[in-house]
Amino acid sequence: MTKQLLAMFLLVIIVCGAPLMVYTSKEEVVFEPDKLVSRAVYLVEQMSHGTLGTYELGQTEREIAHDLLPFAVRSFGLLLGGVLLAVFISVIVGLFLQRFFLARLLQRLLDLLSAIPDFVLVLFSIMLAIQFYKWTQIRIITLSPNSDAVNSWFPMAVLAIGPTIFLTKVISLHYRQISGEDFIKTALAKGLGVWHVLRHHVWKNILPIVLADLKKTVAIAVSNLFVVEYTLNVVGLTRFIFSKGAPYQFNAAVMGLMAIILLSILVYYLVRLLLYVCTRTFVYE
């Protein structure tokens, strides 16, 4: 585990150091790896002394260690809530409500939206929120770069769009495959109820597939996290990476990206644990 974390940290340093190593000057591409080495050594020295350095936020200079925890808590809540919302909607719509017309209609809509890039869906959601404000005078977002998000539920809902589309398609596809199996027809022929078959037969066979694609679901949510936090002014870990009104800051970018990776791993295992508990509670009761 220690070796994996060390390798992950080195990879993050290389990724965050790419803008320092490779850049253009007078229409020429310049490659200076020594800048990355010097910045990385400086970062490690600061960490050995119990500090993570400083970063610029607007016109002020702040300690990274001071803001790391509150920013991480905000991003963690947004990421965990978005993934849980995506899993819940996908399971309900793609499995338990599959027989109903409205659920199938919603799936068709999600299939159409899957052809649209996620960042376009985020921008479209912002446009809808602006139009909603014009109609009702109720503000659910703020476009000021110097202020925090108005609420948490709207960024969470926008973050869940991409993972929901992906996971719903996966569950619906395997639902259609499993529902045609002989053991499902046998269970129905014996007089077992539809809900009983869905819980005790279909869900048990779909759950391993959901768990297998859960990493992709979390990865989609993480990629959308950058867009959602930046466009909706959520003060989270991406604030370290996208420094509004300030130059690129290596230390802050490394700490922010590393924290996002660790949070994504934590969210993945928490969602797996929740699925296990729910299955043991409602299926194996």
Query: pLDDT for 74-122, tens place per residue?
Result: 999 999 999 999 999 888 888 877 777 777 777 777 777 777 777 788 8
What is the full DSSP assignment across 22-87?
EEEETTEEEE-HHHHHHHHHHHHHHHHTT---EEEETTEEEEHHHHHHHHHHHHHHHHHHHHHHHH
How far is it, in rounded angstroms, from Cα 15 to Cα 11? 6
High-pLDDT (> 90) share of the chain, %: 16
What residue type is 274 in one-letter code?
A: L
Residue 20, CA distances (Å) to 8, 13, 33, 37, 45 in order: 19, 11, 8, 10, 19
pLDDT confidence band for 149 (50 / 70 / 90): low
DSSP code at position 17? H
pLDDT at 253: 85
Least confident interval from 59-63, 172-176, 250-254: 59-63
DSSP code at position 200? I
The segment(s) of the chain belonging to CATH 1.10.3720.10 are 66-282
Contact assessment for residue 240 and residue 74, using Cβ atoms and an 8 Å cutoff: no
* Number of Cβ atoms within 10 Å of the Cβ of 66: 11
pLDDT in tens, 199-256: 777 888 888 888 989 999 999 999 999 888 888 888 888 888 876 666 778 888 888 8
What sign does the CA torsion over 102, 108, 111, 117 have?
A: negative
Tokens for 124?
A: 């479209």
pLDDT at 262: 92
For the entire predicted model, the pTM comes to 0.85
| Class of domain 66-282 as given by CATH | mainly alpha
pLDDT confidence band for 264 (50 / 70 / 90): very high
